[in-house]
Amino acid sequence: MTDSSATPLPSPKERRRLREAKSLTQADVAAKVGVTRETVRSWETGRTTPRGRKLEAYATLLSGPELDEALPAEASVSEVAAVAAEVSVRHEDPVLALVGVGGGPSSALPEEAPAPAPVPDDVLEPLTPAQAFDALYAFCAPALVRQTYLLTGRRELARESVERAFQLAWHRWPEVAVDRDPAGWVRATAHEYALSPWHRLRPRHRHPEAPPADASGRALLDTLLKLPPPYRRTLLLYDGVGLDLPETAAETEASTPAAANRLLYARQAVAARLPELAVPEELHHRLAELAATERLRAAKPRTVRTGSERRARQWTRAAIACTVLLIATTAVTLRDAPDHYEPPVAPGARVHGVPPRAAQGPLSQEELDLRTKLRSETAHGPEKLVPQTR
């Protein structure tokens, strides 16, 4: 009988991380160990623990040759980068997959390949921020480009979205470096940028790109693109990447019941057009195959870092220019503004009580009588100024 104490088993969070790093879903692990998917989920949440032969098979599956070093539950970017650097030594192209932290189904080593000897912790030198970023980029970018392609159906937009996400990550590296899941942070940023509705206003996005060469791939991609963006993203994260339902809901900024309803609707829509994909495991494999057939290459890490720094300098210069322009406008306004109060001129109003000026023309009868009276009473000398009483 197998001694369970002799078989080490990582913590529940490390089990999920190791499974995702090996590009395996919970259904894949359940099929290999000989249990149900709900049992594997309870193992990863810590509700139950395998025993006997299942414990030995589960521990052997997690400690395969793909990733020998387990990532701790609160792994920092430096630790992720160290593991990624070790993987890059053993693989020419370490990430060629759709699922996992940066995973790849077609780039795994053969099962009979011997695992390298573990490197002591005191031998590893601390990584610089640039080295840690480059390792994280090499570990995640290729798979993330393929995920974003399934999300948008556009190759150039997928590469641009991943590049912008990593540029923002390098710009906010002190924040990303201490994040619990740096790969998830970059993935969420890339997906949000790729699904932005403003892309439809760009001239080059008014025409669709060439579809996949395979007929089944074209049908699957067309079915995915007909789904609403939130449903498409939920399906990709749950059935493609392999996230749990609460994690999928958190990344899509939705409640768990809403994410479950979106997932059910998306699966029904896919099964209605492609009945052979009604099984989630088959849908997962078809998504991985469709992503692997597209030869999508990401930019070099140094190019991404340089682009991020260049964009930061441009935005800084633009902010400085706007500030200088605002200061100059304020100075001109202060110089030309009046220094005392000037009451406004009241608008003109019609004055009543003053007779209007008479226009030239014949005299009226009253004016004629007045003129005759004045002429008849004409006086000479000063007496005309003396008032007379009547």
Domain range annotation of the chain: 1-73, 77-108+127-200+211-331
Render pLDDT for 209-231 as a digit per residue (tens, 0 to 9): 888 888 888 899 999 999 999 99
Least trusted range by pLDDT, from 49-58, 140-149, 188-197: 49-58
Candidates 303, 355, 16, 369; CA nearest to 159 is 303
Share of the chain above pLDDT 70, in %: 77
The reported pLDDT for the residue numbered 100 is 43
Do 258 and 248 contact (CB within 8 A), yes or no?
no
What angle, rounded to 10 degrees, do the helices at 26-33 and 37-45 form?
110
On average, the pLDDT of the chain sits at: 78
Higher pLDDT, 70 or 239: 239
Which whole number is the average pLDDT over 231-244?
91
Judge whether residue 337 has pLDDT over 70: yes
The reported pLDDT for the residue numbered 7 is 62
CA angle 236, 150, 300 (to 5 degrees): 110
Do 52 and 5 contact (CB within 8 A), yes or no?
no
Do 146 and 293 contact (CB within 8 A), yes or no?
no
Categorize the per-residue pLDDT at 299 as very low, low, confident or very high, splitting at 50, 70 and 90. confident
**Secondary structure letter of residue 177 according to DSSP:** H
Share of the chain above pLDDT 90, in %: 28
Judge whether residue 22 has pLDDT over 90: no
Residue 179: phi, psi to the nearest 5? -70, 150
**Secondary structure letter of residue 43 according to DSSP:** H
The reported pLDDT for the residue numbered 361 is 76
**Secondary structure letter of residue 75 according to DSSP:** -
The reported pLDDT for the residue numbered 46 is 79
Which whole number is the average pLDDT over 158-165?
92
The reported pLDDT for the residue numbered 324 is 96
How many Å apart are CA 20 and CA 15, to the nearest integer? 9
Render pLDDT for 248-274 as a digit per residue (tens, 0 to 9): 999 999 999 999 999 999 999 999 999
The reported pLDDT for the residue numbered 387 is 61
Least trusted range by pLDDT, from 84-88, 106-110, 124-128, 377-381: 106-110
Candidates 75, 69, 73, 111; CA nearest to 89 is 69
The reported pLDDT for the residue numbered 117 is 47
Q: Does domain 1-73 have CATH number 1.10.260.40?
A: yes
Dig out the tokens for 137 from the structure: 């980029």
Residue whose pair of structure tokens reads 């109003």 in the numeric block: 349
